[in-house]
Every structure is written in C-alpha cells, then in structure tokens.
Amino acid sequence: MKTKTDVDYLFEPRAVAVIGASQNTAKIGYRVVENIVRRGYKGQIYPINPKGGEVLGLKIYPDLSAVEGDVDIAVITIPARFVFDAVKECAAKHVKHLVIISSGFSEVGNAEEEREIAAYAREHGMRVLGPNIFGIYSSAVSLDATFGPGGILPGRVAIITQSGALGIAMIGKTAAESLGLSVLVSVGNKSDIDESDLLEYLANDEATKVIFLYIEGVKDGDRLVEILKRVTRNKHVIVVKAGRSKRGAMAAASHTGSLAGADEIFDSIMRQCGVLRAENVQEAFDWARFLADVPFPKGKEAVIITNGGGIGVMTTDACEKYGVDLYDDQAVLKETFAPVMPSFGSSKNPVDLTGQATAEDYERAMEAALANDDMHAVLSLYCETALFDAGELVPVLRNEYQRYKGKKPIVFSLFGGEKVEIITSKLRKEGIPVFADVYDAVSCLGALYRSWHNSNTPADEPEEIQIDVLAVEAILDRAREDKRGFLLAGEAQQMAKVLGLSMPRSILARNLDEAVHAAEKIGYPVVMKVVSKDIIHKSDAGGVALDLVNQNEVIDAYQAIMRSCREYKADALIQGVEVVEMVKPGVETIIGARQDASFGPIVMFGLGGIYVEVMKDVAFRAAPISRREAHAMVSDIRSYPLLLGVRGEKRKEIDGIVDVAMKLGALIDRCRDITDIEINPLVVYEHGQGVKAVDVRILFQTTREVR
C-alpha cells in the first residue's frame, strides 16, 4: 500500500468540513455543500455555521470543535476578515488541509495577512490551497468541493489552473466536450501549495494519464522544472500559458501578481521538460481528450485515408508541420490498398478512395491499414459528397475505432455541412477523436508523437562540470573591492582561464614599445584597444583599432588611439592598450547565462548579428544542463543548418559550443551572485578546430552568494 504524502489527503480526504456552509441557496457556502452531496462524496461531510440547523439533510455544526471525528480538509467560504480566526480553529482541530475559497487577500493588496495565515498554517502542520480559488475536485473519493456548475465527468485528465474563473468555466466546458477529469484544482494566490506540490501528487496518481496546466506566471521555476522533467517520463503534460504578448504579460502580472517572463524562455524550458505547449485552451482540451485514451504508437509512420485529394494534400502539409511521418513503402501500399479500393483511386499515401468511395471502401481500407503492424497510426478523412451520406460512415468509424483504439492511434476529420457537423459533435461526445479541420486532427497526433519521443528519450545522465568556485569568487571579490559589478578585460581573461574557455591571446602594453613587442609576440594581425577605467565605450572614444598587420600600423594605431582618447576625455587615466590576437573569421554565435526572475539560472544560445537581433532566433535551457540538453538547445535554433554546414561547407565545432554551454550553466547555477554572462561573439570554426570566446562580459552582485 502506498504511504500517504503531505498532499495526498488533499485529494483523498476522509472527512471534509465546510466553514461557512449556508442554507441560503444563493451563497457559495451552500453551493459547495450541494456539489459535495450531489457528487456522492464517499467520506464524512461536516457543514459549519454558528447558526446551526440543517442543509441538504446534513446537520450543521456551530463550530469545528463540535465535530467529533477527524477532519482532513476544511473548505473555507467566509469573508476574508474572518478567515484567520477560522484557520486557528482548524489548527486546534488538527485539520490537514485548508481550501480557502475566500477572496480579499494578496490579489487586492492584502498580502501581509495572506502570508501570516500561510505561515501559521505551516507552523501548525496544515497546508493551504488558495486563497482566492474555486475549490477542488478529486475523482479518487468523488469529491466536488467547488462552487462550479457540477456535472464533472470522472476520467483520466487532471487540470491545474492558476485562473479560478477560467477553471469554473472549464467545468462546464469539459462536460460539454466529454472530457473526464481525475482532478480539477485552482491554485489561486499560491500562498502555500503551488503547481509543483500538486504535480508531486499527480506523478504517482494512477488515475491520471494527462495533466493540463493553465499558467499565467511562474514562481520558483527551478523546482517546477525539476518536477516536470520527472512527471513527463510517465504522464502527458500539456501547458497553456497566458501572457505571451507584452500587453498580455502585463495583464497577467496584475491578475495574479506573478511575472510572466519572456515567452521564448518559457517555450524553450517547457520543451526541455518534455511538456506539450498548446496554443489555446481548445487545443489543450483536444489533446487532453485524445491522449487520455490513446496508446503510444509502435512507430512513426502514419497512413492517410481520404475520399478527397485536397484534404489529403492539406493533411500531408499538417503532418509535416506537426512532425508526423507518413508511411512510404510504395510496394506495400499498393499491395495493401489496391485490392480494397476503386480501380481509379490512388494507393499512394494519402490513400485516395476518390469521390465515389462508399462506406464499405472506407471500412476495407481502414481495416487494411489498422491490421498492418508497420502502419503505426491512421488518419481517416471524409469530404461530404452528394454520392455518399456521412451517416453511413458513422457505424464504420465507431466500429473501427472501438476495435483498434487500445492498439493504435486513430484520428478522423469530417468536413461538410450541417449534417456532418451534427455527426462530428455526436461522435466527439462518445469520446471518438473526430475533428472538422484536418489540422486539428493532425495536431493531436503530433502531440502524441512528441510525448512518445520524450518518453523514449533516455533520462539525462548527470555530468559533473568542475568549476573552481573559489578562483571565480576571488576574481569577483577583487572587482568588488573596486566597487564594481562588472569585470574589466584582464579580469575577464582570468575568468576565461578558470573556466577553460579559449580566448584570443592578449597582452597589456603600457607604452608604444611594449605595444610593438606585444604585437610581435602574438603575431599579426592584431587588434588594439585602449585600457582605461574612465573610458567604458571604447569604440565611441576612438579607442579600438582592428586588423593591424605590421609594426608601422601598430605604431600609427597606438598614436591615433592616444590622440582620440585624449580628445574624448582629457582627464582620463589611460593605463595603456591591450594588444589582442585578431581572430580568424568563423560563424559568430552568442552564448550566455543569467539568473531569470521566473526560472532561476538559465543558459541561452543563438547565432550572432541579425539572427539574434532581428530574427530573435535563440534557444534557452534551465541550468545546469546535461550534454544532451545542451545539444538540444543548440539544435533548437532555426539557423542550426548553418552550423551543420550548408552549400558544401563543413560541419562546425558544435561540441565546442556544447562544452561552453555546459560550463556557463554550471557557473551560473553554482555562483548565484553572477547575474549575467555573455560571450559575444563566440566564434565557431570547422569541426575539430574549436571555438573562441572573443568577448566575455560578466555582471554580478556586489555581495557573495555561492551554492
């Protein structure tokens, strides 16, 4: 028997009290009791109200102390100003969980009391869900302790929502869409229990096969990432994140008080965790319902069966978009389908039964595809025609679906007029994955394939990256003594050495003679840069000279730099110049790491110049990252083919980028006082020839924080 964890009793309570239970049918305190009773909750129900009496045949207790048995959950439906006192009563009664529906806390600026309640509850061994939530539904004990419209269907999909109102609306919507739920819970202000706590429970909940998260902002993202990576190994996890746009993010910030963060970061990190990101709630529902019943495919190759060439072509496009491969063995296709279709049809994939197809043709073609072990998924499409009434197709689809649903993924798309729409909606209510638009059908299959791919990917092998934290901190401390939160060029060189990054050779020269010697020592061509604490923007001051190919050019450049820097800032203290090896051209990339407000330490990668600035072609990962994740981050960018080598060019040093990404990930994770690292550019050469960190910029706090 499994041992119950902290959060288990929230979903499997043996007794529930409703504080604020009312006889007034218009009140939330009545609706919650009504839903609990109607749903047929299996445990004890204790309505609490000082007025006493009865509600829905249940005795109302004047207060919790009058209840004899133990109480696992207290659902609180009284005005905010009375909540803390009620929480104290709950502590005296040794209640395990508080489900605080009441609004009037941090969402309206009353954060202090919310914090005090959560802290008091924790001190007294209670966990808090809410406040500002619609309640909780759990199919494990048939508990609907919400003030929703009722009628939730039990099933295999768990919904965790940050928005209460949307959550309530989802109750009706899930019922209308025949989406069965294992759990429905809103986290509201997350004063204590958050998504991560709930995911811990759901990870081991056998009833739950799919988890749908509606998120507006992420707090404590490190923990969420860790849990999501684990949960997605054996459950499908779908997320919808509101606040993608700038204005949306602002609206989300004022709605739940949490930072939406950059959408690209969220997107990348969800992919890293194996989470399926849906565009909107409807898409999430479609995926959830499909994934709840479907087995994983045995392979990647799908077959399209259609009576219309056009929708066949569109479906082929959709398959490419959603990463669904099509079965392509022409000989087998011909052998399989030619005997079961009209002679003028096409047995190529899409298998076109033509506009003259009959229900029998569909049946035979689907049967042939479903019975073939090498055809791993079936997409069956129908376009309404005058010759073939969609009604005749219904028993065929129903029958084939029922026979094969446990063995193979099958999706349908029916396109046509009112009759087709009625049929579609009827079959959907039966839980059969039928869609009007082929893209919606293929998008479900694509979600399944991504989830399947994720669960097939071996778990990450942790790889310890050695970082000499003491040496790193010693460099930062020296800058701190100077009251600086950034490194100067020489210090960045030292840092690169500690990290084992290859930088261009560089020598500090205090006068012209030394500059000439330095250039000779490094070898031409060289770059020369002024060194002065008083000149931050060196190029603006005329303090940089590139591509110096001989001694004369070094002398001229030195003199020109001194002259223009004096003109730029007459009193600047100039220590000399830095003479730097001029690096060979290669692919310029940017690699960085920083402390993100939502996810904590993260790493980013992109190609330099317009790729980052105009095309925003960057990928992110939560740090620290494994070698596999670092590779996935590099290959995530759209311009990745440039690194693989295009138009006869050779493959670039991708492993070198991966090494740098892992080092930066380990550094930003271990040294939390470093806020920002950017290597721009990291020049990447052909495979075997390494990478070079041309400029390393590091920003840090002026106080230490090491893990």
Q: Which residues bind ligand COA (CB under 6 A)?
A: 19-20, 22-24, 27-29, 48-51, 77-79, 82, 86, 101-104, 132-134, 164-165, 186
Cα-Cα-Cα-Cα dihedral of 564, 568, 574, 578, to 10°?
Answer: -50
CB closer to ligand COA out of 212 and 685: 212
Lay out the sheet containing 154-161: strands in order across: 143-146, 135-138, 181-186, 154-161, 210-215, 236-241, 276-277
Of 17 and 625, nearer to ligand COA (C-beta) is 17
- Residue 84 CB, shortest distance to ligand COA, in Å, is 10
Q: Smallest gap, in angstroms, from Cβ of residue 132 to ligand COA?
A: 5
**Pick 101 or 411: Cβ nearer ligand COA:** 101
Q: Which helix (H) or strand (E) holds 655?
A: helix 654-670
**What is the sign of the dihedral through the CA atoms of 631, 635, 640 and 641?**
positive
């991966």: which residue's tokens? 658
579 close to 525: Cβ distance less than 8 angstroms: no
Q: Rg of the chain over CA atoms, in angstroms?
A: 32
Rounded to 10 degrees, what is the CA torsion of 579, 584, 588, 591?
-50
Give the whole-angstrom CA distance, residue 486 versus residue 621.
24
Task: Report, in Å, the least distance between residue 6 CB and ligand COA.
Answer: 24
CA distance 319 to 306: 14
Provide the minimum distance between the beta carbon of 18 and ligand COA in the complex, in angstroms, as a whole number: 9
Our CB check for ligand COA shows the closer of 185 and 548 to be 185
Nearer to ligand COA, 23 or 639 (CB): 23
Q: Which C-beta is closer to ligand COA: that of 101 or that of 438?
A: 101
Specify the DSSP class assigned to residue 502: -
Q: Considering beta carbons, is residue 193 or 341 the nearer one to ligand COA? A: 193
The alpha helices in 326-437, defined as continuous H runs, are 330-337, 359-371, 390-404, 418-429
How many angstroms separate the CA atoms of 303 and 336, rounded?
Answer: 12
How far apart are CB 102 and ligand COA at their closest, in Å? 4
Residue nearest to ligand COA (CB): 164
- Compute the distance between CA of residue 701 and CA of residue 483 in angstroms, rounded to an integer: 10
Running DSSP on this structure, what letter comes out for residue 446?
Answer: H
Do 528 and 556 touch, CB atoms closer than 8 A? no
For residue 624, whether the previous peptide bond is cis, meaning omega lies within 30 degrees of 0, is yes
The least distance separating ligand COA from the CB of residue 702, rounded to whole angstroms, comes to 42
Where does residue 483 rank: exposed (0-12), middle (13-18), buried (19+ CB within 10 A)? Answer: exposed
Q: Which helix (H) or strand (E) holds 512?
A: helix 512-522
Residue 152: CB minimum distance to ligand COA, A: 16
Q: With contact defined as beta carbons under 8 Å apart, do 194 and 162 qualify?
A: no
Judged by beta carbon, residue 148 or residue 586, the one nearer ligand COA is 148
CB of 595 to ligand COA, least distance (A): 32
Q: Residue 560 in 3-state DSSP? A: helix
For the stretch 550-563, what's the b/e string if a residue is b when 16 or more beta carbons lie within 10 angstroms of its beta carbon?
Answer: eeebbbebbeebbe
Q: 171 vs 557, which CB is nearer to ligand COA?
A: 171
> In terms of CB distance, is 6 or 63 closer to ligand COA?
63
* DSSP track, 227-291: HHHHHTTTSEEEEEES--SHHHHHHHHHHHS-----HHHHHHHHHHHTPEEPSSHHHHHHHHHHH
CA dist 642 and 647 (Å) reads: 9
d(C-alpha 75, C-alpha 41), whole Å: 14
Q: Report the residue number, 129 or 603, with the smaller CB distance to ligand COA.
A: 129
Closer to ligand COA at the Cβ: 86 or 660?
86
Q: Least Å distance between CB 50 and ligand COA?
A: 6
How near is the Cβ of 62 to ligand COA at its closest, in Å? Answer: 8
How many Å apart are CA 490 and CA 475, to the nearest integer? Answer: 10
Rounded to whole angstroms, what are the CA distances from 226 to 92, 266, 440, 451, 457? 35, 14, 31, 17, 16
| Closest CB to ligand COA among residues 27, 638 | 27
**Closer to ligand COA by Cβ: residue 32 or 442:** 32
**Shortest Å distance, C-beta 361 to ligand COA:** 51
To the nearest whole angstrom, how small is the minimum distance from the Cβ of residue 143 to ligand COA? 17
Nearer to ligand COA, 103 or 701 (CB): 103
Question: Nearer to ligand COA by C-beta: 133 or 528?
Answer: 133
Alpha helix ranges (H) inside 534-591: 551-568
Residue 77 CB, shortest distance to ligand COA, in Å, is: 5
Q: How far is the CB of 135 from ligand COA (least distance, A)?
A: 8
Report d(CA 294, CA 147) in Å as an integer. 32
- Rounded Cα distance between 259 and 219, Å, is 8
Q: How far is the CB of 92 from ligand COA (least distance, A)?
A: 13
Q: At closest approach, how far in Å is the CB of 303 from ligand COA?
A: 45
Q: Is 29 in a helix, a strand, or coil?
A: helix
